[in-house]
Amino acid sequence: MPVSRSRKKSKPQPERQQVGLPEESGNAPWFVPTFVSLLVVGLVWVVTTYISQSTYPIPALGAWNLAVGFVLILAGFLMTMRWK
């Protein structure tokens, strides 16, 4: 009976390093307090405008106080999409 040949063992290959984007770490420590503050301040701004019938927080803006509040809320909401 013929003798089978032994297989050659391949040399161990060094692990490949992934080239590309660096590891993503979490957000900066100021990120979460900033977007939460924007959301809360925007909400308080809109509620204050409704309760005071557009005379507060800035009387000269009138109904534009609502726009300011909604922009603050929108900025906070957009920041939540970048939260890791």
Residue boundaries of the structural domains of the chain: 35-80
Q: How far apart are CA 47 and CA 24, in angstroms?
A: 38
Average pLDDT score over residue span 62-72: 96
Which pair of structure tokens corresponds to residue 22? 């660096």
3-state secondary structure the chain: CCCCCCCCCCCCCCCCCCCCCCCCCCCCCCHHHHHHHHHHHHHHHHHHHHHCCCCCCCHHHCCHHHHHHHHHHHHHHHHHCCCC
| pLDDT for 83 beyond 80 | yes
11-59 residue pLDDT tens: 777 777 766 666 678 899 999 999 999 999 999 999 999 999 988 999 9
**With bands split at pLDDT 50, 70 and 90, how would you rate the model's confidence at 6?**
confident
